[in-house]
Amino acid sequence: MKALLVLGFLLLPTILMANEADVVRVEVDKVGSGYRFDVTVQHHDEGWQHYANKWEVVTADGQVLATRVLHHPHVNEQPFTRSLSGVEIAAEISSVIIRAHDLVHGYGGEEMTVMLPK
């Protein structure tokens, strides 16, 4: 019994983190005067009450440049990739952070910082 308690205690952080939305892959391309982002998100969607509902393009100082709303749960499609085109970003910005959000935990999963192609 003690061994099970110890094992459960050791696994607790992993279990708690499993429900946050993680950005696991990002591709970014320069298209005309803007950018196209293809973002892959991993989240253990459980249905309409708990799913990854958006991802964002954010500057290093926290300014949200663009948001891709995810309109429904992806219970049987994990990880999943969604795109956003026409993202205008000032020329002086060389990198951005991509973060995902879910309805229960908000932000807090894995983020990715990507360099912008010129």
C-alpha–C-alpha distance, residues 62 and 35, integer Å: 19
**Domains of the chain, first to last:** 19-115 (2.60.40.150)
Distances 60 to 15, 64, 94, 107 between C-alpha atoms, Å? 29, 10, 10, 15
Share the mean pLDDT of the chain: 86
pLDDT tops 90 at residue 78: no
Mean pLDDT of 55-76: 93
Q: How confident is the model at residue 116 (pLDDT cuts 50, 70, 90)?
A: very high
pTM of the model: 0.82
pLDDT at 94 over 90: yes
Mean pLDDT of 35-43: 96
In this structure, the chain runs to a length of 118
What span, in angstroms and rounded, lies between the C-alpha atoms of 98 and 35? 13
